[in-house]
C-alpha cells in the first residue's frame, strides 16, 4: 500500500525536477546562470537546460537598444538657468554580458551621473543663444565621454541627443518680447516702404495729370485764340476795326458766361459787375482803353523816332570833328 502511494509522489517530484531544469530565454535577451552563487554560463535566446536545484538563473540582460532621458538643470555663461533634456540611446554588447551584469549595480544611475557631469561642464562655457545653436556640440561631448566610460562595462552608446532646451519662464518671456519687437520693426519698415511707394506713385500720377491738364488747357487756349482770330477777321470784313471787334468779342463772352451761370439752378457764383448797363459800360471802357493804348503807342513810337534822328546827328558831328585830325596824321606820315 505504501509503495502505491510513493510512486505518484516520486513521479511528481521527478517531473518537477525535470521542469525546473528547463527554462526559456527570449529573443534579444541573455540569461546569467550561477551555481551555488558562482557564475557558470551565459545563455542566449531559446530553450535552455540547467542542473535542477543546483543551477539558478541569476538575472537576465536586455540586448535591445534602450533609451534613457536625463533632465539636467544648469547655468549658462550669461547667468541664465536652463533645463536640458538629454536622451541617451545605449545597448549591451552581446560579448560583454558578464561585465554589464556584474560590474554595474545600476547602469541608469551611472549614465545619468556622466550626463550631469558633462553637461554642467560644457553649458557654462556658452551663452544662452549659443546653447540653442550648438546643442549638437553638447550632444557630441556627452556621447564621447559616455563611450569612454561605459565601454569598459560592456555598454555601447549608440546616440546622444539634446531633445529639449527649456530656459526660465521669465527668460523665455523676455526672448519672446525681443523677437516680437524685432518682427514689429521689420513690419514697420515694410509698411514705411509700402507708404513710400504709394506716395511716389501718387506723386507721379499727379504730375502726369497736371501735365495732361496743362496740355489740355494750352490746346484749349490755342483753339480759343484761333477762334478769336477768325472772329476778328470776320468783323473786319464788315467794316469793324480790330479794337471794336475785340471789345465786342469780350462783351459776347461776358453774356455767354451769364447764360451758363443761369443754367445751373444751385449755383452760388456771382459775376461782378452784374448790372443791366454792365455790358455797355464794359464795351465803352474797353474801346476807350484800346484807343488810349494806341495813342500811347503812337506817342512812344514818335519819341523813339526823334531819339534815333538826334543820335544820328550827334554821330555825324563827331565824325566831322575827327576828320581834320586824321588828315594831319596822314600828312605827318608822308
- Structure confidence by residue, pLDDT tens digits, 88-142: 999 999 888 998 888 888 888 989 999 999 999 999 999 888 888 888 999 999 9
Alpha carbon distance 19, 35 (integer Å): 17
Higher pLDDT, 191 or 238: 191
The mean pLDDT value of the chain amounts to 79
Q: What is the pLDDT of residues 178-225, one digit of tens each?
A: 878 888 888 888 888 888 898 888 888 888 888 888 888 887 777 777
Tell which phi-psi region holds residue 317, choosing left (phi > 0), alpha (psi between -120 and 50) or beta: alpha
Give residue 290's pLDDT.
64
> In 3-state terms, what secondary structure has residue 103?
coil
Q: Is the pLDDT of residue 84 over 80?
A: yes
Give which of 89, 23, 15 is closest to 60, Cα–Cα.
23
Max CA distance (Å), the chain = 196
Backbone angles phi, psi at 34, to 5 degrees: -120, 150
> In 3-state terms, what secondary structure has residue 320?
helix
Higher pLDDT, 180 or 260: 180
Give which of 55, 92, 85, 46 is closest to 68, Cα–Cα.
85
H-only helix segments in 123-168: 128-133, 135-150
- 90-99, 250-259, 290-299: least confidently modelled range: 250-259
Using alpha carbons, list the distances in angstroms from residue 56 to 106, 166, 313.
21, 47, 154
Q: Is the pLDDT of residue 265 over 90?
A: no
Q: Which residues in 140-172 are b (16+ Cβ under 10 Å) and which e?
A: ebbbebbeebbeebbbebeebbbeeeebeeebe
Q: Is the pLDDT of residue 42 over 70?
A: yes
Give residue 248's pLDDT.
65
H-only helix segments in the chain: 2-20, 97-102, 107-122, 128-133, 135-150, 169-237, 242-263, 278-333
Q: Find all residues with CB under 8 Å of 60, minimum gap 6, and list them.
A: 25, 29, 30, 31, 32
User: 71: pLDDT confidence band, cut at 50, 70 and 90?
Assistant: very high
Could you identify the residue written with the cell 551611472? Answer: 110
Give residue 267's pLDDT.
63
Residue range 12-30: average pLDDT? 81
Give residue 332's pLDDT.
42
User: 333: pLDDT confidence band, cut at 50, 70 and 90?
Assistant: very low
Alpha carbon distance 144, 131 (integer Å): 18
Using alpha carbons, list the distances in angstroms from residue 35 to 45, 55, 163.
20, 4, 44
Amino acid at each position: 500500500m505504501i509503495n502505491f502511494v510513493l510512486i505518484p509522489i516520486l513521479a511528481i517530484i521527478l517531473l518537477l525536477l525535470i521542469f525546473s531544469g528547463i527554462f526559456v530565454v527570449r529573443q534579444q535577451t541573455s540569461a546569467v546562470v550561477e551555481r551555488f552563487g558562482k557564475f557558470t554560463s551565459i545563455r542566449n535566446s531559446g530553450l535552455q537546460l540547467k542542473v535542477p536545484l543546483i543551477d539558478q538563473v541569476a538575472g537576465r540582460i536586455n540586448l535591445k537598444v534602450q533609451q534613457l532621458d536625463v533632465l539636467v538643470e544648469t547655468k549658462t555663461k550669461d547667468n541664465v538657468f536652463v533645463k536640458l533634456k538629454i536622451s541617451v540611446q545605449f545597448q549591451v554588447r552581446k560579448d560583454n554580458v558578464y561585465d554589464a551584469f556584474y560590474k554595474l549595480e545600476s547602469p541608469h544611475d551611472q549614465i545619468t551621473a556622466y550626463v550631469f557631469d558633462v553637461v554642467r561642464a560644457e553649458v557654462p562655457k556658452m551663452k544662452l543663444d549659443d546653447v540653442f545653436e550648438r546643442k549638437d556640440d553638447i550632444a557630441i561631448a556627452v556621447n564621447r565621454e559616455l563611450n569612454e566610460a561605459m565601454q569598459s562595462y560592456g555598454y555601447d552608446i549608440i546616440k546622444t541627443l539634446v531633445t529639449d532646451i527649456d530656459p526660465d519662464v521669465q527668460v523665455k518671456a523676455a526672448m519672446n518680447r525681443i523677437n516680437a519687437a524685432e518682427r514689429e520693426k521689420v513690419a514697420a519698415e515694410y509698411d514705411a516702404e509700402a507708404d513710400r511707394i504709394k506716395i511716389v506713385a501718387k506723386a507721379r500720377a499727379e504730375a502726369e495729370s497736371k501735365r495732361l491738364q496743362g496740355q489740355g488747357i494750352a490746346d484749349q487756349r490755342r483753339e480759343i485764340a484761333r477762334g478769336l482770330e477768325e472772329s476778328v477777321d470776320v468783323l473786319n470784313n464788315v467794316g469793324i476795326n480790330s479794337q471794336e471787334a475785340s471789345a465786342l468779342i469780350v462783351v459776347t463772352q461776358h453774356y455767354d458766361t451769364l447764360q451758363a451761370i443761369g443754367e445751373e439752378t444751385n449755383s452760388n457764383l456771382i459775376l461782378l459787375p452784374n448790372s443791366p448797363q454792365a455790358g455797355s459800360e464794359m464795351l465803352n471802357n474797353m474801346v476807350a482803353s484800346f484807343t488810349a493804348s494806341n495813342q500811347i503807342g503812337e506817342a512812344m513810337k514818335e519819341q523813339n523816332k526823334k531819339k534815333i534822328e538826334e543820335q544820328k546827328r550827334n554821330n555825324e558831328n563827331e565824325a566831322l570833328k575827327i576828320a581834320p585830325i586824321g588828315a594831319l596824321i596822314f600828312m605827318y606820315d608822308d
